[in-house]
Amino acid sequence: MTGPRTTWRADVGEDNAHWLATECRTARLAGEYRPRAAGGGFVEVNALALGALRELGEEEDGFITDDGDGLRIWVGDDAYELERSE
């Protein structure tokens, strides 16, 4: 079950974390809907931000896939595993 404080983290590298937090299309939304650079190359998303990222098309950086390979965030041709943390 996903609670309101559930977050997911991915090690995407410093440049990608910064880009997702400041330049991704969802970075223009209210704070609770944006990915957050968490330092050390990690990006964090809460349940609301995860929902917003799911709305991106697969041609957009930051889109989310959730399939047999797990929950992943994509930047370019690279996928980064999002791991749940509470």
pLDDT for position 3: 56
Give the per-residue pLDDT at 4.
Answer: 60
Cα atoms found within 13 Å of the Cα of residue 6, Cβ hemisphere only: 11
| Amino acid letter, residue 16 | N
Dig out the tokens for 5 from the structure.
Answer: 């404080």
Token digits of residue 31? 């704070």
Query: pLDDT digit string (tens) for 42-85?
Result: 999 999 999 999 999 999 999 999 998 899 999 999 999 999 98
The answer on pLDDT for 12 being more than 90 is: yes
Q: What is the pLDDT of residue 85?
A: 87
For residue 23, the model assigns a pLDDT of 95
Among 58, 60, 3, 12, which residue's Cα sits nearest to residue 36?
12
* pTM beyond cutoff 0.85: yes
